[in-house]
Structure 1
Amino acid sequence: MRSLSPLGTSCLLLLVALLPCPPAQASPALSGLSVPSCDGAPCSPAGSPEVPDGPAEAWLLADMDSGEILAAKNPYAYHAPASTIKTLLALTVIDEVPLDSTVLANRSDLAECSCVGVTTGREYSVRQLLDGLLLVSGNDAANTLAEALGGFDAAVAKMNEKAAEIGASDTRTGSPSGLDWPGMEMHTTPRDLAVIFREALSRPVFAEITAEPTALFPGDSGEDEIRNQDELLTLYPGALGGKTGFTNAARKTFVGAAERDGRRLVVSMMHGLNAPGGPTYWDQAQALLDWGFALGPDQNVGQL
């Protein structure tokens, strides 16, 4: 291979120097925070009590109405969402499909279970499927709702469009249910989960469903009672509802909200497992909410 002459090298260097540089990208860890970083350790307002930590490796606590971030740990870290992404599916469906419209279930919708009990060849209303989706995390309900959005690929595309529309810019889903597999692009962040849940909770039907302790779902012989998997509803006074999730890649995930004295807080927690004898996810969620409700006004570390 021929080498460049000194003159040729000088010209090449000059050309490179004159090429426009790509714009620098802001660190997402600084984009909504008024503190240097919440990476690796919890951050909270100066002078506030020590913020409780727990099994979740990444989490965020925010005011639902003002958008103030009260405390966080790794709030912009990418993790698989597992079934918490069903909140994004529900939001997308609610915004696009009439609740009384019906969907015919097919065999492929039943391939991924945990299941609520969708039966091939049976018609379900969108509202019934949302109950099965949000209360017991039915993957069969998720896949059947995807049909109402045009099928698996169309539903995924619409979910990603909805995430971008509401400002959840670090969210990318690869399946309607949150089930993940190797090579799939599937991630969100604690910050984005809080944004998605806050937006979904502003839809009255979502707020109604996620707060239901139980619901009736069509079964083989009448209607079966299904129970909400969000244990915070029974453990924590003022709980407004939430969504759990688990896969091997995601580990435990949760997003939910509670209200006290007119103030509403949202907590999102990702990528954790309960250690033997240690605090559970529910312990951590309750401790964070208690800490947040005790925090004074205007104490925050940034905005969602």
Structure 2
Amino acid sequence: MDPASYSSCVTPRGITYRYLYSPAAAGKPTILFLHGFPSNALECWRHQVDFFVKRNYGVLAPDLLGYGGTDKPTDVAMYAKSLMSADIISIIDKENINSKVYAIGHDWGCALTSGLATFYPSRFAGFAFLALGYLTPNPEFEINSFYEGFKAIAGHECFGYWHFFKEDGADKIIADHMDAFMSILYPQDPKSWLTDMAPRDKLKEWILSDKVTPPPSYLSDKDFDRQKAELLKGGMGGPLCWYKQYATGAVVHDDKLVPKENYVIKQPVFFAATHEDYICVPKVALVTMKDVCPNLTVRDYQTDHWVQLAAPDKVNKDLLEWIESL
């Protein structure tokens, strides 16, 4: 999309969001794309934005809190799902989007998609989750139980790197070793997550060693350098707050606000299962999604975590078929 398609919105709580927006043609729905860590709207969704805009779909893709042209607070409480969900609704209202809206998330964007599904279900026609599944509200959430639950199903530790991300000063360490950080976040060999990111202390060890490997085939050197520069400009303090919401247990307060009748998503749900993703392991997500997403469509991808970049043609085709079948 042309840079002129960027707009901004100050939400009722005073947060400025930057976002890409292209209105829907008559009779077409709007797709809300919610990116994850450590990205922004255009870097994450460039293949999907172009695909759907060319087909006259509405597209709304915000830089989420902590990223890109959006504000970057470092107070963890500002990243509550209820607050960020309300922010997104305020952007939709500012643009007077009256067409059907489908929310599509990737990575932490799936957590926000989960928030929209539970706090504002009537505003959406469907929800799609790429790599990470629907996060059912859990007022009894306890981080160590979360770690162990994933490990029991996946067969290996998945979130050991969270221990580093919640450390004081982790943002500065990452900024000082950004090439190594980007190298492991976007690995050439997906199995490096199994050995050098998922186990506790391994990510910090990788970063401090300044180990660098070539980028994966779906990222050019220019892509890599552009995203690195964007993160260095904005800092890592904000992006890490998404993890701290969970790693510190702050999410419990938010989940207590969700009406129990909203735990089950009544709208159609799409899940992209990434079978070379050794952190967001598909079978873990499906354990709960099969019970709380009664109208569930699952599509399988032999890719790593970054499915929308690694297999854009298949992702676009599958999402289009899913939406047009509804």
TM-score by length of 2: 0.29
Higher strand share: 1
**Computing the radius of gyration over CA atoms, which structure comes out larger, 1 or 2?**
1
Higher helix share: 2
TM-score by length of 1: 0.30
